[in-house]
A and B are shown apart, each in its own frame.
Chain A
Amino acid sequence: MSRAMALLSREAALAWGRGGGPMVSLAFYAGVATLLPLATGPEPARLAAIAPGAAWVALALAALLSLDRLFERDYEDGALDLLTLSSVPLEIACAIKCLGQWLATAAPLAFAAPVAAIALGAKPHLAPLIFACALMGGLAFAFVGGIGAALSLGARRGGLLTAVIVLPLFVPPVIFGGGALDSFAGGLPWKAGFALLAAYAAAAVALGPIAMAAACRNALS
């Protein structure tokens, strides 16, 4: 257990250093909240309608930005070799890496997402659901994204390959989470959408590490 905790704190610190942390996510959302009204026109009604969706897209893109470093550096500097020589299975180590990534990048983004959406004119009562969706969606993005990052290990322009592999897998959580937010804003039943999002995240957490570990072993050999 102490090994797992040691790895988690190291991974969170590393992810924080390579583009996580509260300031980076705040700056990211500040950029979205500033540019979106300029790009779509400032009518409050239109902005309010697309604000939750914009927060979602920003979350997915922010997750994508930090992914290509998740395994690449450890692969290049030999850390991945040493991680395999432990009684902690590589699958668990991969899951911990994604969890660290989520803690350092997605959790601060989840706190910033409702603020950005409200600043764009979303109704304040949407804030808790936006937060919950961002937290759950971030988990799915981290674990699904980890598969892409591990599969593109050792490839030239691995970042581009990661994006191509991962984007189709990002579609379901965006649809489920965005649907839940839309329904909630329109006073319709929203729990089904959120439950689907949670189910997708659970599946990613359960199955993702197996795929990641297999991809890492393949890249190392």
Chain B
Amino acid sequence: MIEALVIENLALERGGRLLFSGLSLELPAGRAAALVGRNGAGKTSLLRAIAGLVPLAEGAVRFGSLDAVDARAEHIHLAGHQDGQKPARTAWEELAFWARWSGASETAAREAAARLELTRLLDLEVRRLSAGQRRRLSLARLLAAPRALWLLDEPLSPLDADWRARFGEIMGEHLAGGGMIVAAVHDPLPIPALTVEIGETAP
């Protein structure tokens, strides 16, 4: 379990351009942070930097007492627009694979699909799903394999009002269970969250 996500004096660069610098954040277990900022401010880059995909120009990211490599291998979920789901494969094949790759059983994947009301869609090819259904399919992986830290890139954007509320409940349960959420958003999250402005500190 990760006790806290700690970001210290972080600076990120993309393509030689400084996105932001001096970002510090301490997120204890059970709390959520909403990253807000204009397009291109570096919200997605920050999520990818926490996931270890983007090198840090300056500063540090710590996962409580856990080693960063272990934390990224077993304790982080990353979910965004690029969901890695292949259009020609069926929804079940994709969910089952990504759930297993995250260490979950097939039973857990089926339960997650039922929770997100995907069961009757599982035989369809991913290309036949609507944008909202496809997003729910990629979020089902988060329910199937419990991991402490969810990094979500615009998680609610393709969802309808009903599903936004229901995913809000799911996020609330995740926090109540000691989890953490860092989400890049343009609309407010339906859960209490610490707002972090990205890009304000850039010169």
Contact = CB atoms under 8 A, between A and B. Distances in A.
Contacts of A83: 84, 101
Interface in B51-95: 51-55, 72-74, 76-78, 80-86, 88-89, 93
Interface in B157-181: none
A14 B89 CA distance: 9
Contacts of A3: 100-101, 103
Given A84-B52, A86-B101, A79 B84 contact: yes
Contacts of B77: 85
Contacts of A10: 93, 97
Nearest to A10: B97
Contact of B83 (A2, A7, A77, A86): A77
A220 interface: yes
Contacts of A220: 53-54
Interface residues of B, number: 29
A72 to B, nearest CB: 13
B11 to A, nearest CB: 15
Contacts of B93: 10, 13
Contacts of A17: 88
B55 to A, nearest CB: 5
A77 B55 contact: no
B82 A77 contact: yes
Contacts of A77: 82-86
A40 interface: no
A88 to B, nearest CB: 8
A6 interface: yes
A85 B83 contact: no
